Chains A and B, each alone.
Chain A
């Protein structure tokens, strides 16, 4: 109680009065409030005192207080926007996870702020001409920002580990079972009450298993626009939780002997190979899956600029300035999708739970496929632990594989092999997204 004295007490009383007035206005003018919200209702009350003057020209003390009270967020929360208050809590939770727990802070911080912005009553930041609305329409609605992110990823990626041991590319394919296996899971979820996903929506949710944020956003925006925010948040959150999700599955599916398998050293990769690789993946994509060309092409462009060495400035800009700006804007744009109406519904719970299943299936698919590959090449075996790096969560998944292998054999450093599987997972996730785009577009 000692804190509630003097100035603080007076401030609290004023706030209480404002609140009471605001709630009173909201209750007294339900028709106006329904038509235009409490702020409009307050203006309507003031104008009703003097119908000859336009709103805002005449301000009595009581009318002004009523206007301010009705325009507060608290009045809105008490009226009918309680969901926005809940979503503010979700936004703060995302900030906590990003900052305090270190879960993908580059994305969760802007997403968290986007969530706070869009759920601020009367701020209209998510409206067409609001900050978030502008970002969404100019950068996400047309896939610009996800593609810029892919350019940055390409400029930061080194495909040498994959080129040095090309067969691990199949682990990147096997891990996409996290996408297509989850699709069945989403369809089965429809048998529970409260869930009714179409096949397109189910595919958009299943893409969480690709463990690839930009791909999830591109596919989610096309086929489940109302769920895009939940899908992106689930994808990024589980990517951050890879060190917790993957190890139990990896231990479950491997024996101690398999975890100690030492792999042969990769061959040396020439500069020419590294230079031609982005052209190669682009050509393969053009020939087999043109629907994925925007995504793969952006990745290839970024990587070619990195490897050619002729445009260091552009490479540097893609890895830093462009990537950073795109990350901030993409995060805010995704956060805009976290408004109460879209997020607070049973489907979100389904997406969050099915996302976990997607990551588990992707991990299992990679590990099991590595074991299958060992049946066919017993003389040059693959440590199954790198199979889990076939999911696209880069470079977290590769680090997890390496760390787990070191636990069982401190001399067995699998990092480069796991990196190879990890960049294969990036390519595999783009292909998986391209397949879904090709099937349903």
Chain B
């Protein structure tokens, strides 16, 4: 009976690992496919002017370089397509 139990143990652990390895492979593949084909998330809407705030209150700061950087980043985020073959 010990021999039978050993066989069951080997078969059982082997099957469990086989099934879960198959699942691992499919999850990894699915993750890569999702990263390739998933649409990029819409950028968070820029905060509008707060009522009562001073007209020159800018969440990005008053530095013009910072404003330019924010504008470039926003534009590239809206316009760029996901890079193919790269997973997240």
Question: Which A residues are within 8 Å of any B CB, using their own CB?
Answer: 162-163, 166-167, 169-170, 172-173, 176-177, 179-181, 183-184, 186-188, 190, 199, 202-203, 267-270, 272-273, 276-277, 280-281, 284-285, 287-289, 424, 427-428, 431-432, 435-436, 439
Contacts and interface: CB of A to CB of B under 8 A. Distances in A.
Contact of B24 (A166, A187, A435, A439): A166
Contacts of B38: 270, 272
B-side interface mostly: helix
Give the bracket for the number of chain B residues in contact with chain A.
20 to 34
Interface of B: 1-2, 4-6, 8-9, 11-13, 15-24, 26-28, 30-31, 34, 38, 87-88
A176 B13 contact: yes
B74 to A, nearest CB: 20
- The winner among B2, B8, B17, B24 for most chain A CB atoms within 10 A is B8
- The winner among A173, A267, A280, A436 for most chain B CB atoms within 10 A is A173
Contact of B20 (A169, A184, A186): A169
Contacts of A202: 5
B5 A427 contact: no
B27 A169 contact: yes
B17 A170 contact: yes
Contacts of B21: 170, 173
- The 10 lowest CB-CB distance pairs between A and B, nearest first, are A166-B27, A180-B9, A173-B20, A180-B12, A187-B5, A435-B12, A435-B15, A176-B16, A173-B16, A288-B19
A431 B34 CA distance: 26
A157 to B, nearest CB: 15
Nearest to A369: B17
A366 B12 CA distance: 16
Given A288-B18, A432-B16, A187 B27 contact: no
B87 to A, nearest CB: 8
A268 to B, nearest CB: 6
A167 B19 CA distance: 13
A270 B9 contact: no
A167 B26 CA distance: 11
A408 B24 CA distance: 30
A284 B88 contact: no
Contacts of B13: 173, 176-177, 180
